[in-house]
Every structure is written in C-alpha cells, then in structure tokens.
C-alpha cells in the first residue's frame, strides 16, 4: 500500500486509461477466444461484460461491509434484489403526468436507491444489535424472509417463481432491445465507476476510518468515546443503497429479474467473489467479480461440451457442475491463498517482502501486548 501512495498520479492515470479503454471497447473489434463468446463489439460479449461489471459493483458494495467494516453479512442479496424488483415495481406504478418520460425514469432509479438505503437502515438497525456470527445468521434470516416474500408474489407485484419482466413504457428507447446492448454496457460501466468512487470516498472519510478501526479493535474505539453502532449502521445502509443501484441496472440489462437473486445462495456467491479477489482490497473485489463471472460462464459452456460428455462418470459428474469446480476452487483459495487473487499478484510482485497484511500484524502485536 505504501508504495502505491507514493505514486498516486501513476495509479490515477492507469485507472483513467483502463476506464477509457473499457469505454471504447464496444467500438473496437477484439476477439479473445475462450474468454469472450465473440468479438468485443457483439451484443453477446457486451452483455457478458456488462453483467460482470454489475456483479463487480455489487461485490464492491459488499467489500464495504466485509472488507472495510469486517461485518460478515449473509443478507446482501436482499438489497440487490430490492434494487432489481424495486425498480421494476416503481416503473410499473409510478408515472406522474407532470414529469417528462426521461425524468420519470431517473426519478424511478433514485427512488429505488432510496428504497435500498431505507431497507438496509431498517435491517441493519435490528441485526447490528448483535455482532460476529450472530450478525451473520440474522442477516441470513432477513435475506430468507425477503426471498420468501418475493416468491409469494404479494399483490401480483413480484411475479413469484417466474420473476418480473421489465415494463419498458417508461424506459428511454436507447436502453431497450438487443441492438442497444452497447448503451446498457456503458450504463453498467458508469455504475461500476460511480460505485467505486463512492466506496473510495467512504473509505477515506471519517466514518470509514472509524469502522475500519472498529473492525480491528472494537473495545479501543469504545474507549475513545465513539459508539460504533451508528457508524456501522451508516456503512451498512450505504452498502445497501449501492447494491440497490447495481440491482436496478441489472433489471435493465436483463430486462427482467428472477427470484434467484433474492436467495441466500446469491449472497454466498458474492462472498466467494470477494474472498476469491482478496478481502480488503477494492480492486480485489472487482477482479474477483470479473474472474468469477467469466469462469462461471465458461465452465457452464464447458459442462455442455462433448469432451465432458465423453468422460467416465467419475470425471464427468464433477466437471459438469460449474458450482462444484468454483466451490472447490474457493476452498483451495481460503486454505492456501489467504490474500486471494489480489494477494497472489502482490506476492509475485514483491517476493522478498512478507506478504502479510497490516491487519494480521496488528492482531499479532495485540496478542503480544
């Protein structure tokens, strides 16, 4: 980290170049066989990349909870689902005549993000009364309740098991249809950049410092005279709002949403992504999301291939289940690669330095004193 801080301009320039490259990618003709399903300007590839970027935005919001504040939440999918379903329901029911069509759409997205924030504030206010493992279980219970509500289809609003389809009446024409996947791609990229900047801002803010300190040693923070509850609640709510934003654009991208995104399993996938990328690092979360999404997509394609179908049962069954491979990979990362993929690159980059995080050192120092 220290070496990065001495070269902030290089980092900013490199990030800007990367974003710029992502912006012009739909205008180029780049093919990477085995990773992209087609050339970079085709809707299929753009759809996949946009999906990966939204999952990256969601993973970043989860990083705020788990990486920064150290809160192991199993209910984060709830807010993503609230964003996706929320926007769908708002678009269907909210069409005031005094607003022009475009403004209605923007207002609907803002309302959705607000819903995410308020819902997270409510769930957080209850579940933050406990910490650690109990907190994990309570958020899991809330997520399960959300999943049940979505499946029960209250008032015919969520579409039950079949999911909700996007009502395009209020959506600008530029964001509808396969031919406009490019615009949705840019929108997803914008969401990822916005979420990244908000996460960065929160991390550098006073609230960010307080929750990071609470993660390391809650007792010390209390002794200084700060009550961690409200700061944690604030972070939890911001993460919820960001997840809702990602969910809202997810609805536009997929032109619909299925109850799968509300299940606790979806949160577990998120946890896998963040740990795979490297806990505590912003770009680790982004990297994890991109790698996971592409791997998931490619493994699914591999599972259906003739090569796999020709293998004996002993190899065919495990290899035809992408989640089995990803789960096993995840276990191996947790056991042998504590820093995740980001930790791996750092370790390769600086072989002589001990690859321990500051956090581990702090913990060790505390145990000594």
Partner 1 sequence: MSTIVLLLITGLGLGALYFLVASGLSLIYGLMGVLNFAHGSFLTIGAFIGWEVARRLSDGSWWALLAAMLTGAVVGAVVAAATEYFLIRRLYNRHIEQVLVTVGLALASVALFEGIWGTDPTYVTSPSWLEQTTEILGARIPNNRFMLILVAVLVLVAIVLFLKFTRYGLIIRAGVENRAMVTALGIDVRRAFTLVFAIGGAAAGLGGVLASIYYGYVSAHIGGSLLIFAFIVTVIGGLGSLAGAAIASVLVAVLQQFANFYLGGTGDLAVVLALAAVLLLRPRGLLGAKS
Q: Which residues in this chain contact partner 1 in the complex, by CB under 8 A?
A: 72, 126-127, 129-130, 132-134, 136-138, 140-142, 144-145, 148-149, 152, 264-265, 268-269, 271-272, 275, 317-318, 320-324, 326-328, 330-331, 334-335, 338
- When the beta carbons of 231 and 271 are compared against partner 1, the nearer one is 271
Residue 208 beta carbon to partner 1: minimum distance, rounded to whole angstroms: 20
Dist. CA 31–CA 289, nearest whole Å = 21
Q: What are phi and psi of 320, to 5 degrees?
A: -85, 5
Q: What is the DSSP string of 328-349?
A: HHHHHHHHH-TTHHHHHHHHHH
Closest distance of CB 275 from partner 1, Å:
6
Q: How far is the CB of 141 from partner 1 (least distance, A)?
A: 5
Tokens of 277: 């990328």
Return the number of the residue (43 or 340) whose C-beta is nearest partner 1: 340
The residue (of 139 and 181) whose beta carbon lies closer to partner 1 is: 139
Compute the distance between CA of residue 141 and CA of residue 158 in angstroms, rounded to an integer: 20
First to last CA, the chain: 25
Q: How far is the CB of 328 from partner 1 (least distance, A)?
A: 5
Min. distance of Cβ 282 from partner 1 in angstroms?
19
Radius of gyration for the alpha carbons in the chain, expressed in angstroms and rounded: 21
Cβ-based nearer residue to partner 1, 194 or 325: 325
Residue 113 vs 239, nearer CB to partner 1: 239
Q: Which is nearer to partner 1, 99 or 145 (CB)?
A: 145
CA distance 74 to 57: 17
Tell me whether residue 175 or residue 262 sits nearer to partner 1 (CB atom). Answer: 262
Alpha-carbon dihedral sign for residues 110, 244, 148, 295:
positive
Smallest separation (angstroms) from partner 1 to the CB of 268: 6
Q: Furthest-apart CA pair in the chain: how many Å? A: 67
Q: Cβ(200)–Cβ(194) under 8 Å?
A: no
Name which of 121 and 268 has its Cβ closer to partner 1: 268
Nearest approach, Cβ of residue 223 and partner 1 (Å)? 18
Question: Minimum distance between the CB of residue 105 and partner 1, rounded to whole angstroms?
Answer: 32
User: Would you list the DSSP string of 23-73?
Assistant: HHGGGS----BTTBSS-TTSHHHHHHHHHHHHHHHHHHHHHIIIIIS----
Phi, psi of 27 (to 5 degrees): -90, -10
Cα distance between residue 239 and residue 261, in whole Å: 17
Query: Tokens representing 232?
Result: 């944690």
């Amino acid at each position: 980290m220290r070496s990065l801080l001495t070269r902030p301009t290089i980092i900013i320039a490199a990030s800007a170049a990367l974003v710029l490259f992502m912006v012009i990618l739909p205008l180029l003709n780049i093919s990477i066989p085995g990773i992209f399903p087609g050339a970079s300007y085709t809707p299929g590839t753009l759809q996949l990349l946009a999906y990966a970027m939204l999952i990256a935005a969601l993973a970043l919001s989860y990083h705020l909870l788990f990486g920064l504040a150290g809160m192991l939440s199993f209910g984060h999918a709830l807010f993503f689902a609230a964003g996706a379903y929320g926007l769908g329901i708002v678009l269907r029911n909210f069409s005031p005549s005094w607003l022009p069509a475009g403004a209605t759409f923007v207002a609907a997205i803002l309302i959705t993000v607000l819903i995410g924030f308020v819902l997270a504030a409510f769930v957080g206010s209850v579940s933050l009364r406990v910490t650690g493992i109990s907190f994990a279980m309570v958020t899991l219970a809330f997520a399960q309740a959300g999943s049940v509500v979505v499946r029960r289809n209250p008032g015919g609003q969520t579409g039950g098991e079949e999911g909700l389809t996007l009502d395009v009446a209020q959506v600008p024409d530029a964001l509808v249809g396969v031919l406009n996947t490019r615009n949705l791609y840019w929108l997803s990229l914008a969401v990822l950049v916005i979420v990244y900047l908000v996460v960065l801002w929160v991390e550098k803010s006073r609230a960010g410092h307080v929750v990071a300190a609470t993660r390391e040693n809650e007792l010390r923070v209390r002794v200084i005279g700060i009550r961690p509850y409200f700061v944690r609640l604030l972070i939890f709510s911001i993460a919820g709002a960001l997840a809702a934003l990602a969910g809202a654009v997810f609805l536009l991208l997929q032109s619909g949403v299925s109850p799968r995104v509300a299940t606790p399993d979806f949160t577990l996938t998120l946890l896998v992504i963040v740990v795979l990328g490297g806990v505590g690092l912003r770009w680790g979360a982004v990297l994890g999301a991109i790698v996971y999404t592409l791997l998931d997509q490619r493994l699914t394609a591999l599972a259906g291939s003739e090569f796999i179908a020709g293998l004996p049962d002993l190899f065919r069954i495990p290899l035809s289940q992408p989640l089995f491979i990803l789960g096993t990979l995840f276990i191996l990362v947790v056991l042998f690669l504590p820093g995740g993929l980001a930790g791996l690159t750092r370790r390769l980059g600086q072989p002589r330095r001990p690859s321990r995080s500051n956090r581990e050192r702090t913990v060790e120092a505390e145990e000594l004193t």
